[in-house]
Structure 1
Amino acid sequence: MRRRATLAGVAVSVLLILAIVLGSRLLRDFDSALLPYAVATVFLAFGVAYRYTVWVSAPGARRLFKQGWGAFFSAGNFRRAPTALPRMIATYLGFQKFLGARSHARWAAHQLIFWGCVLAALITFPLTWGWFTFTSSTGSGPGYEMRIWGFKILGFDALNVVGWLMFHGLDIAAVLVIPGASYFLWRRMKDRGAITGQRFAYDLVPLIALIVISVTGLLLTFSSIFLHGGGYEFLAILHMVSVVFTLIYIPFGKFFHIVQRPAAVGMQLFKYTARRKGEPAATAGAVTGAAAAAGAPGEVSADGLLGCRRCGRPIDTAPYVENLQGTMRDLKLDFDEWAEYCPRCKRVLRGTAYLTHVKKGFK
């Protein structure tokens, strides 16, 4: 598994290097001052491919990965629900509505960080790789051209609104990230629940890194506009070190959930399409095989939801429960039949077992 992960990391890194060379027109558009950033992205590509391969090799993640991509490439699912995938991408990846159910403040802060980082990545990575450039069309400005892979995309005036947005996109991203990261940092300093389980390297370092990157980036703009470049070199090095460190840290820290999050969309699509089919009877037989042997199998409703073996309340889609039971069997967890009970009934059965087998011994 480690050998496969290493080979995957090397392959992705080589592909990225080739893309940088070809996309920058054999390095003609590559800015040597950005070399440390480019090298960091190559390490990032290796780390993400390596850890993702290791993650997908685990039984649970492998099943989730397989079922998610199966639902994604299913022509039948697309015919039944053509808008399901775009809606789930917007819900789970874009606007992350599931966070709003926990706290509106946490949702707003997470949105600020998410869109700020997305904007920064869309600007930084292509510039670092030499994929697009800004060149003066008149020699001294203010007319500029934006070129992607050497092809002119648009021309703009650096002194108008479009020009300001072009050259200050990273500043806008920093303004979005700072309040979002600061809120979560404040919360981790004040919330007792967060303090109890947090780890400095895993929970606090990512937030501190985002704030340092954003603040140093804004200070670079402040130095160039108001200080006539005073302290610019020191700030540039500090900013570069913070960015490089964060890029290398992403695959091995909390930021890795950015790479894992799309898998949640695949699983939600798998559950949604299974519910839409409305004909899970064949699957239900496999799901409730253990229950049938006990004489009290759960029933599957018309919309594909499997009922609790004890109270009949819907648990989840039958294929999803089957997938969960398969993962538990792969992990040699010998209580996969418990997946067919709702959370309330699990608590009741545990309490009953305690009264019968444990409390009895104290009489």
Structure 2
Amino acid sequence: MSEPSDVIDAAPPPPAPETPPPAGRSVTARATLAGTVVSLLLIVAIVLGSRLLRDFDSALLPYAVATVFLAFGVAYRYTVWVSAPGARRLFKKGFGSFFSADNFRKAPTAVPKMIATYLGFQKFLGARSRPRWIAHQLMFWGCLLAAAITFPLTWGWFTFTGDSATGPGYEMRIWGIKVLGFNSLNILGWLMFHGLDIAAVLVIPGASYFLYRRMRDRGAMTGQRFAYDLLPLICLIVISVTGLLLTFSSIFLHGGGYEFLAILHMVSVVFTLIYIPFGKFFHIVQRPAAVGMQLFKYTARQDEQVFLCKRCEEPIDTTPYVENLRGTMQDLNLDFNAFVEYCPRCKRVLRGNAYLSHVKKGFK
């Protein structure tokens, strides 16, 4: 018969407590799940919106597949973005203010006004430079027009069908329902069939301006990266130029070189759509949260919740905004969050005094 000590020694060790998965792994899992769900929802929307693929154009399949990858990338990157402490606070405060019934009662016109000025016309860019604002507007409205035409056509959500084999009458149908009839030979018909050409004409000068500026401006050249800053602009120009060349080929060259141009255009569009979530253009998806933060600050100003500098007593910003910034710095374990209580000028004075007191006094 074995001794009790022998039994204890022979017993297997107790199982180690389960350790939680690393934060990075959990964020990746959530982001992957979000991207998968959004992609599947888009596929279902394509199938249903095209009336079980009856209105789906198989020639546009590469574009449709690229939009599914785009949906996955946007959802994945957005989930990763909002997982960071600062972005999470921006997301909660921004969208909380955006959908707040109390804010709507206080300022019913603030939301549409901010959407128009901050998202649509981007007036904040005009304060930096009027040429930059004009170029940005050309790019923004050109890309918006192209997306509004391309995506529904790619998904089979709306179609153009002719009254006869030779035209010129056409019908535009959305989800199989006729919404508009037009003559392809009048101005409306020309605009309907050349909407993408108009978008290209808007995008080319806007993207070219920024590309020229990044190639010549020393301030822009200092921190720019080719894949992040230059490649998106080049892609937009290539898409626009090849799209215009397709129209030129069909009208003036009787289709000469059309197949090569079509493949080149398709490759450039597919690459850009897949690249968008992981490049500079991801800020298009982030911008609405910033609109909510602007509303958050605006409603606080309406309530006269203004935070004054502790040193000079000049207004810094709204009190809720300063407290939100302090909370973000605490989340990031930054030990100088008390500096949010001072205006930029007083921060420089305090840093200078600290340098004179603790650094320069050591010099003999």
Give the TM-score of the pair, scaled to structure 2: 0.92
Amino acid at match of 1:82: P
Amino acid at match of 1:353: A
Bigger mean CA offset, 213-222 vs 57-66: 57-66
Larger radius of gyration: 2
Superimposed CA distance per residue, residues 63-115 of structure 1 (whole angstroms, 9 cap, x where no aligned partner): 11111121122211111100000011111110000101110000000000000
Partner Cα distance (1:36, 1:354) in 2 = 60
Q: Does structure 1 residue 33 correspond to structure 2 residue 56? A: no
Query: Quick one: which of 163, 169, 191 aligns to 2:189?
Result: 163
* Alignment-derived partner of residue 322 in structure 2: 321
User: Shift in Å at residue 38 of structure 1?
Assistant: 0.2
Superimposed CA distance per residue, residues 310-352 of structure 1 (whole angstroms, 9 cap, x where no aligned partner): 0001011101111111110000001111101000000000000
User: Shift in Å at residue 139 of structure 1?
Assistant: 2.8
Partner Cα distance (1:255, 1:338) in 2 = 32
* Alignment-derived partner of residue 111 in structure 1: 137
Partner Cα distance (2:229, 2:320) in 1 = 35
* Alignment-derived partner of residue 219 in structure 1: 245
Query: Quick one: which of 222, 225, 231 aligns to 1:199?
Result: 225
* Alignment-derived partner of residue 312 in structure 2: 311
* Alignment-derived partner of residue 148 in structure 1: 174
Partner Cα distance (1:74, 1:219) in 2 = 48
1:129-144 paired onto structure 2 within 5 Å:
129-144=155-170
Partner Cα distance (1:275, 1:65) in 2 = 20
Q: Does structure 1 residue 208 correspond to structure 2 residue 216? A: no
Partner Cα distance (2:28, 2:190) in 1 = 47
How many matched pairs?
338
Partner Cα distance (2:256, 2:53) in 1 = 31
Partner Cα distance (1:230, 1:72) in 2 = 52
What is the RMSD computed on CA atoms of the aligned residues?
A: 0.6
Partner Cα distance (1:32, 1:261) in 2 = 34
* Alignment-derived partner of residue 283 in structure 1: none
* Alignment-derived partner of residue 349 in structure 2: 348
* Alignment-derived partner of residue 301 in structure 2: 275
Partner Cα distance (1:83, 1:335) in 2 = 38
Corresponding residue SS for 1:153: strand
Amino acid at match of 1:191: D
User: Shift in Å at residue 225 of structure 1?
Assistant: 0.2
1:71-110 paired onto structure 2 within 5 Å:
71-110=97-136
Give the TM-score of the pair, scaled to structure 1: 0.92
Q: Does structure 1 residue 339 correspond to structure 2 residue 329? A: no
Q: Does structure 1 residue 177 correspond to structure 2 residue 203? A: yes
Amino acid at match of 2:132: R
Question: How many percent identity over aligned positions?
Answer: 83
Gaps of at least 5 residues in structure 2 are: 1-26
Corresponding residue SS for 1:242: helix
Q: Does structure 1 residue 230 correspond to structure 2 residue 280? A: no
1:114-129 paired onto structure 2 within 5 Å:
114-129=140-155
User: Shift in Å at residue 137 of structure 1?
Assistant: 1.4
Which stretches of structure 1, 4 residues or longer, exceed 6 Å deviation after superposition? Answer: none
* Alignment-derived partner of residue 300 in structure 1: none
User: Shift in Å at residue 138 of structure 1?
Assistant: 2.4
Gaps of at least 5 residues in structure 1 are: 279-302
Partner Cα distance (1:164, 1:242) in 2 = 25
Corresponding residue SS for 2:170: strand
Partner Cα distance (1:122, 1:69) in 2 = 24
Corresponding residue SS for 1:155: strand
* Alignment-derived partner of residue 33 in structure 2: 7
